[in-house]
Amino acid sequence: MKTFSSVFAVFLSVAAISYSSSNRAPGRTWINDVTIVSPEKLDHIERGSVLIENDRIVSVERGVERKEGAKKPADANLVSGKGQFLIPGLIDSHVHLASVPGMMFDPAQSKSEMVRKYFKQLPRSYLYYGYTTVVDLAVVDREVLEGFRRAPLHPDLYDCGGSLPIANGYPMSFAPAAMRFKLFPNFIYDSRQASSIPSEYKPQDHTPAASVAAVKSSGGICVKTYFERGFAADRNLPVISPELRAEIRKAATQASLVLMMHANSFEAQKFAVEGDVDVIAHGMWNWGGLDGRTELPAEIRAVLDQIVKKRIGYQATIQVLAGMSLYFDPEYLKMPAIAKVIPAEMLAWFNSAEGKSFKRELERPGFTDRAMLEGYERSVFRRVRQVVAYLAGQDANFLFGTDTPSSPTYGNLPGLNGYLEMQQLQKAGLSLAQILRAATISNARALRIDSQVGTIEPGKMANLILLKESPLESVSAYDSIATIWVHGKAISRESLAAGG
């Protein structure tokens, strides 16, 4: 962590210098008479007060109004939280900042102005829905991440550096052969495919140890690899061997990096469990030969039991499926929330034929939109909900992650997608307490950033969300945000809306 925190410290001091002339330091803020809903104390919810000094929480007092009466600290800005609920800033541990909704790897040149406005709004849209920390799992364009960090208001951003696909495997297989090795410089060399790897790439530079070292030196906190044989036209992609999996595991442990694996099938999650990964980056919606079974098969339950027992972090990412099914939902683009998180011209483009081009890859001849929607419900949604319900029943280590956007869909928009994912998780059987823990303390612990964020405790970063409704009573509470504090700076929700 040393490297990362020193990079972070440098960034903070630069930010402090550049704002000192225009903005006053946040100073002290006292949020009083508020119901404190912090995930390490969900069995102990009381009203109280939280004192922020500059960018940190310095004290948390519960129940004081019943004792001697709370006193406002000197020079503090008073914020009354009467009738409201304070939670830690939310963490989305699976995003892809450089991917533009509705577009493939290479954003259309003709849409550069629209894309520029989208990236300008991007950090604000995450904050608009209460996400004050995001983790980018596969950096393909570092400039986008730097732009995000330079924005005047933005969530804390961590990343896994360049990801580790097997040569010519998922997802580098989606990039044109001439570009893919440049886009995925940490790919793992595969001697079985030496003839389809350009000769300038040497095996010794693309071992698990070399690629993990590259992630570490870029400031990454995690390593992302994949087990994916593909789908549709590309269903026989190369995958990593158990030997390579073991080498990646060993290198990640030695570098103190969290190991995350893309795995959404029974076969892939079994492979991930056998390799002792730290985090499985998707829900299991493909059951292979067991797809048609209506009850959760015993073979799958055995793998899920291992996920529970080993406390492997589990990102259900159910909205990935909505990223496909929403193309068949005539109501989706009419949601008023969409205009809050993307520029108006992007919404207009989504409504055009060109903006819906991904739909043509998804539709099946002879199927109406309604039949397509029902098909998704009966297959992938049903299966992932059965898996998630089973894991929820055993209180598995859920980590809140959305995979926003699961390229190239327009169905996963920044910030809003998190709110929709919470609704999906609830529908699949997670309790509201499980959802809150997944998006705060569990994410923070799994990513080893819990000394900074994840709870409302003295010493933590003052990333806080004031809600009008209780997040333990209704998932809609996450859409009732009044104020967001980022590093102690208060921001009203409406000021973060697109076009606002």
Cβ of residue 210: shortest distance to Zn ion, in angstroms? 23
Task: Pick between residue 57 and residue 95 the one whose CB is nearest to Zn ion.
Answer: 95
Closest CA to 318 of 344, 353, 293, 282: 282
x/- binding map, residues 387-416, to Zn ion, per CB under 5 A?
A: ----------------x-------------
Q: Name residue 485's beta-bridge partners.
A: 464, 490
Cβ of residue 159: shortest distance to Zn ion, in angstroms? 12
- CA-to-CA distance for 51 and 61, rounded, in angstroms? 9
Cβ of residue 366: shortest distance to Zn ion, in angstroms? 32
Cβ of residue 47: shortest distance to Zn ion, in angstroms? 39
Cβ of residue 137: shortest distance to Zn ion, in angstroms? 5
Count, residues in the chain? 500
Cβ of residue 63: shortest distance to Zn ion, in angstroms? 42
Q: Are 317 and 281 in contact (CB under 8 A)?
A: yes
Task: Pick between residue 407 and residue 452 the one whose CB is nearest to Zn ion.
Answer: 407
Task: Pick between residue 403 and residue 421 the one whose CB is nearest to Zn ion.
Answer: 403
DSSP 35: E
Q: Which amino acid is at 92?
A: D
Task: Pick between residue 268 and residue 432 the one whose CB is nearest to Zn ion.
Answer: 268
- CA-to-CA distance for 374 and 381, rounded, in angstroms? 10
**Paired sense of beta strands 489-492 and 56-62, if any:** unpaired
Cβ of residue 99: shortest distance to Zn ion, in angstroms? 9
Check residue 421 for interaction with Zn ion (CB under 5 A): no
Task: Pick between residue 32 and residue 407 the one whose CB is nearest to Zn ion.
Answer: 407
Q: How far is CA 387 from CA 217, 304, 316, in A?
A: 37, 8, 9
Task: Pick between residue 36 and residue 140 the one whose CB is nearest to Zn ion.
Answer: 140
x/- binding map, residues 230-269, to Zn ion, per CB under 5 A?
A: ----------------------------------------
Closest CA to 471 of 479, 460, 463, 462: 479
Q: How far is CA 220 from CA 8, 61, 112, 179, 224, in A?
A: 12, 35, 29, 23, 10
Give the residue nearest to Zn ion (CB). Answer: 403
Task: Pick between residue 397 and residue 409 the one whose CB is nearest to Zn ion.
Answer: 409
Residue with the two structure tokens 């095996």: 203
Burial classification of residue 365, based on how many CB atoms lie within 10 Å of its CB (0-12 exposed, 13-18 middle, 19 or more buried): exposed
Q: Two tokens at 88?
A: 């830690």
- CA-to-CA distance for 152 and 195, rounded, in angstroms? 47
Task: Pick between residue 53 and residue 228 the one whose CB is nearest to Zn ion.
Answer: 228
What is the C-alpha end-to-end distance of the chain, expressed in Å? 38
**How many residues in the shown chain lie near Zn ion by CB under 5 A?**
1
Cβ of residue 94: shortest distance to Zn ion, in angstroms? 6
Task: Pick between residue 35 and residue 264 the one whose CB is nearest to Zn ion.
Answer: 264
In Å, how far from its chain's centre is CA 491? Answer: 22
> Where is 208: in which H helix or E strand?
helix 208-217
Cβ of residue 316: shortest distance to Zn ion, in angstroms? 13
Q: Are 259 and 277 in contact (CB under 8 A)?
A: yes
Cβ of residue 412: shortest distance to Zn ion, in angstroms? 10
Task: Pick between residue 38 and residue 93 the one whose CB is nearest to Zn ion.
Answer: 93
Point out which residues bind Zn ion (CB under 5 A): 403
